[in-house]
Amino acid sequence: MQRGIRSPVAKYYAYKSTEYVSFTNAIWILFVRSQGLSFAEVGALNSIWWLALVASEIPTGYAGDRLGRRSAMMLGTAIVTVSTVGMGLSSTFLQFALVYGLWAVGQTFRSGSDDAWLYDLLGETDETHEFASVRGRATGIGLAIGAVTTLAGGLIADATNYSVTFYATAMVTALGIPILLSVPATSGNGDSFTPQTALRLVREKLARPPLRGFVVYFALLFGVVNMVYIFDQPILRDVALDLGVPESASNTAVSASYAVFSLAAAAASYRAGWIRDRVGIRRWFLAAPVLIAVSFASLPLFGLFAFPAFIVARGVANTSLVLGNQYVNDRIDSVGRATVLSATGMLYSLAVIPFELAGGVVADVFSPAGALAAFGGVLAVGSAVLWVVDRPV
């Protein structure tokens, strides 16, 4: 990597760390459930999140292309900070719904723009082939640091209350704004990039090969694997209680598990460039659905299988996102990059909604572990069909 962009990339690592540092990761669902909400209501809240993502992905990606990626990232960081505080103050379904929606909008300002900013920065020195390595390292570093705060969050929740963890997270998130002010801005497209141009570009890139099949395939994988974030905390707490952990320390036990998950995912993400070079993107996406399906199928068989199953799920999810963004970035031009990335994010988010709505209902009727096992089977069958119908990668 050239000396000229080392400093901005280092600051990018710092910025991504503020995204991953969270005292709430391991107790989020437990907090919502402690307010009396059912799994179906939790699934509905997550669906509101994804619907808000779907509605705002393309407009916020367009804003990033027109106004500049850095400005969009700062605005998104500010919105997420405010939403985090709002989460700690919420106690009813309606309040949670409003916060989930606002939080999702803030997240979309960052989701397409940060990858577009990084890819363009690397493009200035003809090092776009390093995107997966840099992005993977940033994710790995963020997850490793996040593991520490995740564990601390459980301790804080057991010692005080859930809300304090959200306020602490908001303080760290806000640090992303001064970091972004110190990095170079990659220029937006100005008046030449109109909404009509944006829509035409999205249609041209995503409605035909090579991205059409890949986006559908990744959306299925993304939709199923994201169900784990609804059910893993209750499953882990039940396992901890079965092992004799006292109720007063259950949040700490779940947080300790989350810390291990984050470290494992960090290691996988950090090596995303190595996986791209040694395994290959095509072989990775052939194996990913199988790994998820087998892991989820093991959950109803024996409670302790939850631990390795959730490690696999996180490793696959984070690595797939890095490699998937490399694959898409390599097939689009700089003009409209954030818009196309946001459009793919919109489709991924849309795929999550039916899985989480149905999963919440299935979990209330049977169990969270049974819901994950069932939809792991859906992923295995669906991905096999897509490989037969249209080779996605």
pLDDT in tens, 83-111: 999 999 999 999 999 999 999 899 888 87
For the chain, the domains span: 8-184+193-389
Scored b (16 or more CB within 10 A) or e, 162-189 reads: bbbbbbbbbebbbbbbebbeebeebebb
Which tops the pLDDT comparison, 254 or 175? 175
Distance CA(19)–CA(13), nearest Å, equals: 10
DSSP structural state of residue 124: T
pLDDT digits over 26-51, tens only? Answer: 888 889 988 999 888 988 898 888 88
Give 250's Cβ-side CA count (13 Å radius): 19
Which pLDDT belongs to residue 6?
A: 65
Q: How far apart are CA 393 and CA 374, in angstroms?
A: 26
The reply to whether the predicted model has a pTM over 0.85 is no
What six digits make up the tokens of 80?
């997420």
DSSP H/E element including 189? none
- The answer regarding whether domain 8-184+193-389 maps to CATH 1.20.1250.20 reads yes
pLDDT (tens digit per residue) in 335-392: 666 677 777 877 887 888 888 888 888 888 888 888 999 999 999 999 999 888 878 8
Cβ neighbours of residue 63 closer than 8 Å, sequence gap 6 or more? 72, 109
Angle at the Cα of 248 from the Cα atoms of 246 and 251, rounded to 5 degrees = 100
Is the pLDDT at 75 greater than 80? The verdict is yes
- For 282, residues 6+ apart whose C-beta sits below 8 A from its C-beta are 393
Separation CA 324–CA 160 (nearest Å): 40
Percent of the chain beyond pLDDT 70?
90
Would you tell me how many other CB atoms lie within 10 Å of the CB of residue 209? 11
- Mean pLDDT score, 160-189: 85
Please state the φ and ψ torsions of residue 349, each to the nearest 5 degrees.
Answer: -65, -40
SS3 93: helix
Which DSSP letter does residue 392 get?
-
As a whole number of angstroms, the distance between CA 179 and CA 193 comes to 28
